[in-house]
Amino acid sequence: MAFMEGIEHSRKGAEMIIKGNKIMTEAVVNNFLFTWQWWFGIGLFVVPWIIWLLLRKKDSTGRLLIGGLITIILSLVIDLIALSLGLWRYPMKFSPVAPMLLLPYHFSLVPVSIMFVIQIRPKANILFKGVIFSMLAAYGAMKFFVLIHFYDPKNWLSIYDFCIYLFLFFVAYWFSKIDSYKSISEQ
């Protein structure tokens, strides 16, 4: 009987999530869409990729994209866990399709920033680069997003953001340095 009760609780929880998503979708469509904040968020999604395409180290594009892709995946996983636990939230919504996620953050700002830091001064001390990047992201960018109501950390401390950014940076760096790339056609 306990299993079937769990199924019923799961169904009720899913219905509540759907209702919450409908409320957030209405907020996007009726309150956020086409405001300056919405356009700013869309710019934060598009502009970093354009800049990256123009300024990337072209012979390292594949390696950098691997680092960026792993950053996207990890930041989404971390965010989904934190959002489900109520550790922080994103008051500003950009998309009625995925209102729980701050898309410019996950799909553009963080991965593109990390890819740039990886390619800049490649022989520099990686710990130094990671710490500088994480400090700027946690104590600069995140504070700015709080100011413009894109991010609500609740009781989440900036040092935790710093640790997350440092983790994301080092994992992306490690993936970008994997030396076992070989063309599939050569096998």
Better pLDDT: 186 or 49: 49
Residue of 166, 164, 90, 98 whose CA lies nearest to 127? 166
User: Which residue is associated with the tokens 């199924």?
Assistant: 7
User: Which residue is associated with the tokens 């300056």?
Assistant: 36
pLDDT of 42 over the 70 cut: yes
pLDDT at 113: 96
Rounded to whole angstroms, the Cα distance separating 84 from 142 reads 20
Crossing angle for the helix pair 110-119 and 158-176, to the nearest 10 degrees: 60
Query: Which tokens hold the place of 126?
Result: 């990686």
pLDDT of 132 over the 80 cut: yes
pLDDT of 187 over the 80 cut: no
Q: What are phi and psi of 152, to 5 degrees?
A: -125, 100
pLDDT of 7 over the 90 cut: yes
Inter-residue contact 101 to 79 (CB < 8 Å): yes
Residue of 149, 184, 181 whose CA lies nearest to 67? 181
Rounded to whole angstroms, the Cα distance separating 41 from 92 reads 9
pLDDT at 137: 97
Q: What is the pTM of this model?
A: 0.89
